Structure 1
Amino acid sequence: MEFDFGPVMTYFPTLLKGLGVGSLVAVAVAFLSVVGGLVVAVISIYINKVVSWPLRFFIWLFMTTPLLLQLYFLYFGLGEWILIPAILVGILGLGFHYMAYNADIFIATIKTVSDGQYEASRSIGFGHIATIFYIIVPQAFIRAIPQLGNNMILMVKDTSVLSAIGVAELVHASQYAISVTFRPFEFFIVIALLYYVINIFMELGQAWLERQTAYRR
């Protein structure tokens, strides 16, 4: 078998376009999953059980079912009643999936902040909400950075699953090129290398962020 990367170079702009779409999706999912996960965690811990139990069920549901099934449910299931663009389904599907995992992380890190800090904050005049968002949440967020970083690295790789619902990210773009050139192995090698480079940069960024916040933990 002889390798021929000529077709890959021809369609490399197509791959870069797919990489750009995947990157935009990843940024949107990162924002939704981190902010949403933090909100879900705070409500689950500090609000009464009538509100928190449905949220805990949400966490359990998205953590115990496959991501692809969740995407199919949103795209094909809800699509029978509501026409939702594939890229929006991808953002919501990945966002809810990783929101559940991030909420679980935040619940754990919030509980590591000592009760004494809450009591001390209240004793100097901070209200309940102010104490949570100015004292508890910042510390919990910093402690969650290593696990959040790992989740974000996994999430970027999981954007490839969105090709199953027609989102024109990197894998989907390569499938089109492969259907024209009939050179799957070469394209898959290049895609793997692109993901590897992305992972390296994300790991370096995570390591830098952990060093910058280590003294605050």
Structure 2
Amino acid sequence: MEFDFSPVITYAPTLLKGMGVTFLIALVVAIFSIVGGLLVAVISIFTNKVVSWPLRFFIWLFMTTPLLLQLYFLYFGLGEWILIPALMVGVLGLGFHYMAYNADIFIATIRSVSSGQYEASRSLGFGHLRTIYYIIVPQAFIRSVPQIGNNLILMVKDTSVLSAIGVAELVYASQYAISVSFRPFEFFIVIAVIYYILNLFMEYGQSRFERMTADRR
């Protein structure tokens, strides 16, 4: 068997376009899942059971069902009543999935902050919301950096699952090129190398950020 990477060069613009879609999805989902996960965690801890129980059910539901099933439900299931573009379904599905995981992490780190700090803040005249915003959440966020970083790395790789619903990300773009060139092995090698390099960059960025915040934990 002889390798021929010339089709990869020919379809490089297609792969670059798919890579751009992957980066865009990953960026939007990262922001959505972190901010949303933090809000879900804070609300579920500091509100009454009527509000917190539905949020905890949301976390349990998305953590105990496969991502692909969630995407199929949103795209094909809800698609019978509401026409939602595949890209939006991909962002929402991946976002809610990792929002649940991030919320679970934030709940643990918020609870790890000493209750004495909350009491000390209130005794200094800080209100309930200001104490949460200025005292509790910053410490919890810093403590969650390693786990959240790992989740983001997994999330970027999971963007490939969106090809199953027709989102034109990197894997979907390579599938199109393979269907025309009939050189699957070469394309899969290149795609694997791209994900590997991206993974290295994210791990490097995570380690740098962890070192920057290490003295604040």
- TM-score normalised by length of structure 1: 0.99
Task: Give the Cα separation in 2 of the matches to 1:33 and 1:140.
Answer: 16
Cα deviation 1:65-116 (Å, max 9, x = unaligned): 0000000000011111111111100000000000000000000000010000
Deviation at 1:207, TM superposition (A): 0.3
- Listed as ranges, the matches of 1:101-120 within 5 Å are 101-120=101-120
Q: SS of 2:185's equivalent?
A: helix
Task: Give the Cα separation in 1 of the matches to 2:12 and 2:142.
Answer: 39
Task: Report the equivalent of 1:147.
Answer: 147
Task: Report the equivalent of 1:186.
Answer: 186
Equivalent position amino acid for 1:133 in 2: Y
Task: Give the Cα separation in 1 of the matches to 2:75 and 2:170.
Answer: 20
Deviation at 1:58, TM superposition (A): 0.3
- Listed as ranges, the matches of 1:75-94 within 5 Å are 75-94=75-94
Q: SS of 1:62's equivalent?
A: helix
Q: Provide runs of 4+ in structure 1 moved above 4 Å.
A: none
Task: Give the Cα separation in 1 of the matches to 2:68 and 2:85.
Answer: 17
Task: Report the equivalent of 2:196.
Answer: 196
Matched, 1:64 2:49: no
- Listed as ranges, the matches of 1:105-184 within 5 Å are 105-184=105-184
Task: Give the Cα separation in 2 of the matches to 1:118 and 1:129.
Answer: 11
Task: Report the equivalent of 1:11.
Answer: 11
Deviation at 1:12, TM superposition (A): 1.0
Deviation at 1:37, TM superposition (A): 0.3
Deviation at 1:141, TM superposition (A): 0.1
Deviation at 1:190, TM superposition (A): 0.1
Aligned length: 217
Cα deviation 1:164-216 (Å, max 9, x = unaligned): 00000000000000000000000000000000000000000000000000000
Task: Report the equivalent of 2:98.
Answer: 98
Task: Report the equivalent of 1:28.
Answer: 28
Equivalent position amino acid for 1:14 in 2: T
Equivalent position amino acid for 1:15 in 2: L
In the alignment, structure 1 segments of 5+ residues that lack a partner are none
Task: Give the Cα separation in 2 of the matches to 1:140 and 1:14.
Answer: 41
Equivalent position amino acid for 2:128 in 1: H
Task: Give the Cα separation in 2 of the matches to 1:148 and 1:13.
Answer: 32
Task: Report the equivalent of 1:205.
Answer: 205
Identity score, percent: 81
Task: Report the equivalent of 1:215.
Answer: 215
Deviation at 1:13, TM superposition (A): 1.2
Q: SS of 1:4's equivalent?
A: coil
Task: Give the Cα separation in 1 of the matches to 2:23 and 2:88.
Answer: 14
Cα deviation 1:38-69 (Å, max 9, x = unaligned): 00000110000010000000000000000000
Equivalent position amino acid for 1:102 in 2: N
- TM-score normalised by length of structure 2: 0.99
